[in-house]
Amino acid sequence: MATGSSSPAGPQPFKLILGSSSVARKHILEEMGLEFQVMTADIDEKSIRRENPDDLVMVLAEAKADAIMSRLNMADYQKEGDQPTLLITSDIFVDFEVVVHEGIIREKPTTKEEARQFLKGYSGGHVSTVGSVVVTNLTTGKRLGSLDKAEVYFHDIPDEVIENLIDEGVVFRVAGGLLLEHPLTLPFVEAVVGSSDSVMGLSKEIANKLIHDALSL
């Protein structure tokens, strides 16, 4: 069970499951002061395709929720008098606008060369992200979802910094290899339009709203 240092004074009136092993998403929920447990979906994300990035991230977040729920005994979460249990899943894609304005959807890099290509592409340029958040009330079976978008503008990123990020290996665990708040990356972020937590994989504002609304379903 994880908990944030800024947890509310009283006990949390619901149980929360984070359907992700993402370190960034764990950190975001901890910053929100939420207690939660972690379960992973373990789905083949590349087997699920949609041409529209908005559709794709929402379908993937829902697929993650469905995969986790398929491994649970739902009756355990629907006992009368028990606290409600919420499952939160999300997904994010990075859309890099190249000089000819051709939108390229970027997922997690799979090779060093691909990661290098991604990171060099960000240098002196900008990216847009679209992220989904889905909250499922396991007690009632009801589900809510929403999208959030942001843009990030970068200064020129030195080749040495790019190689250090690749050698560290963390770039292979995030969409587009984009690590906004990494100590090596942060000095080269010129501006963020939207919320940085959305770029990191989970919008606090949307998560808060969906959690609140899901508890009333």
Q: Just list the catalytic residues.
A: 91
Question: Hey, what are 75's tokens?
Answer: 């009756």
Cβ(121)–Cβ(86) under 8 Å? no
If you ran DSSP here, which 8-state letter would residue 98 be given?
-
What does each C-alpha distance from 90 to 16, 20, 56, 115, 184 come to in angstroms?
14, 8, 11, 22, 25
The secondary structure of the chain in percent helix, strand, coil, rounded to multiples of 5, reads 35, 25, 40
DSSP-derived 3-state class of residue 163: helix
Output phi, psi for 140, to 5 deg.
-105, -15
**Strand (E) positions, the chain?**
15-18, 37-38, 85-97, 103-106, 126-137, 143-154, 189-193
Spatial separation of the C-alpha atoms in residues 193 and 152, rounded to whole Å: 6
